[in-house]
Amino acid sequence: MVQIKEFRIVVPLSLEEYQIAQMYMVTKMQQQNTTGKEGVEVMVNRFFEDDEFGKGQYTSKLYHLQSKVPAWLTTFAPADALVMQEEAWNAYPRCKTVIQCPYFTKFRLTIETVHKADNGQSENVHGLSKEQLAARQVEFVDIASSSTDYWSYMVGSNSVDLSNFKSTRTGRGPLSEGWQDTCDPVMTAYKLVTIDAPYWGFGYRLEQALLAGERALFLESHRNCFTWIDEWFGMTMQQIRELEQESDSLLNEKLRTPTLSTNVEDFEDR
């Protein structure tokens, strides 16, 4: 059964600031979660241009996260076989990510993101049909909140209390109740997650687990975007790209694998 869920994550940043914050966060979190045995392997990171998105950055990554696989899932597949393949087209403020698993060839998870300078009240930023809107669930993810479920334990490490946190460089914070309606600047990441795991006996359970995993990741990553503001604030896009390139090399060195391609001419438009 195909499931559609839209997560709305409000952040006290401008659209321009969020682009830098998000790239810094991804780079730092990948470094934190990559060791000699597990983590993120960057296969491709390059410029792209096509008819669907226009211009942006294309990445292809492999996620080796054996220790984070739920025990029940290893009854259907060995943990070391559950490598996730991710392709992403980042044409900010629009992005698309597709995640697949070679072991489960029918499985597909798609995340379509639209970033808007609002507080999460836009109702159909993805242009869904009536049928899709009827199937869609909407959940607001409050970055000032915390969670204690399995996936938050697996993903989360940010224990900052945002009701007390205040940025030294910008003066933003703390985030008290109802902050989404009073913060300026403010923006929202509208993340539409479509997941399909058509496998009898465990497909629905896998879909639910991965939706919970995505929610935990969205909460952790956007908490990091804000609480790391004094680290990335004032950085330029060129500085972020240089940091990203350096990080890609370090990640692959940790996993002892070379980057396969960085040449835009090798990329086939999608």
Mean pLDDT for the stretch of residues 234-257: 89
Query: Tens of pLDDT along 53-63?
Result: 999 999 999 99
pLDDT of residue 257: 53
61: CB partners within 8 A, 6+ apart: 40, 41, 42, 43, 85, 86, 88
| Rounded-to-integer distance, Cα 215 and Cα 219, Å | 6
**pLDDT band at residue 191 using 50, 70 and 90 as cut-offs:** very high
pLDDT one-digit tens code per residue, 65-105: 888 877 888 888 887 777 899 999 999 999 999 999 988 99
SS3 labels along the chain:
CCEEEEEEEEECCCHHHHHHHHHHHHHHHHHHCCCCCCEEEEEEEEEEEECCCEEEEEEEEEEECHHHCCHHHHHCCCHHHCCEEEEEEEECCEEEEEEEECCEEEEEEEEEEEEECCCCCCCCCCCCCHHHHHHCEEEEECCCCCCCCHHHHHHCCCCCCCCCCCCCCCCCCCCCCCHHHCCCCCEEEEEEEEEECCCCCCHHHHHHHHHHHHHHHHHHHHHHHHHCHHHHCCCCHHHHHHHHHHHHHHHHHHCCCCCCECCHHHCCCC
Q: What is the pLDDT of residues 214-240, one digit of tens each?
A: 999 999 999 999 999 999 999 999 999
Name the pLDDT band for 122 (thresholds 50, 70, 90): very high
- Give the start-to-end residue ranges of the domains of the chain: 3-250
For the chain, what is the mean pLDDT? 90
Q: What would the two tokens of residue 257 be?
A: 């694998």
Alpha-carbon radius of gyration of the chain: 18
pLDDT at 256: 65
Confidence at residue 263, expressed as pLDDT on a 0 to 100 scale: 36
CA distance 41 to 86: 10
Average pLDDT over residues 43-58: 95
Q: Is the overall model pTM greater than 0.95, yes or no? A: no
For the domain made up of 3-250, give the CATH fold.
Alpha-D-Glucose-1,6-Bisphosphate; Chain A, domain 4 (3.30.530)
Chain centroid, CA 103 distance in Å: 22
Distance, CA of 104 to CA of 101 (rounded, Å) = 5
